[in-house]
Amino acid sequence: MENVSNVDKLESIKSFQSTIRKLENSLATMTQKGANTTLLKKRLKASYIGLAMLENVWNQRPHHYTMEDLAETRNVLTGLFPSIENSYAKLKVGSPQRTLLERRIKALELAVKAIDDLSNE
């Protein structure tokens, strides 16, 4: 994790923050509509923890998550890869959406690596 450029660190943190905002907005909308929010809540929690792991590794910010939380987060985050990669493959090279998904994939990979590194300590 020490070989990550400052640009990648910043973009990864911003990507998680953006994802969290979108999930929070979706959760509010779905809650108002009375829709099932179980999956959304799981993804939101995993995004919070993913962001916390990156900030823990890069900015030495403490976290309060258990190994069980980290294992569940790892599963949720890795479960997102197929759908993101599928969407990514359909986008035109150089499009803003493709760039966003590249950053999101990188952020997810780095968060999973941070969890793996922490789990192996």
Single-letter amino acid, residue 116: D
pLDDT of residue 1: 66
Share of the chain above pLDDT 90, in %: 94
Q: Could you tell me which residues come within 8 angstroms of residue 110 by beta carbon, excluding any fewer than 6 positions away?
A: 1, 4, 8, 12, 54
Q: Which of 16, 56, 23 lies closest to 8, judged by CA?
A: 16
pTM: 0.93
pLDDT at 16: 97
pLDDT, average across residues 28-44:
96
- pLDDT, residue 121, reads 73
The model's confidence at residue 119, banded by pLDDT at 50, 70 and 90, is confident
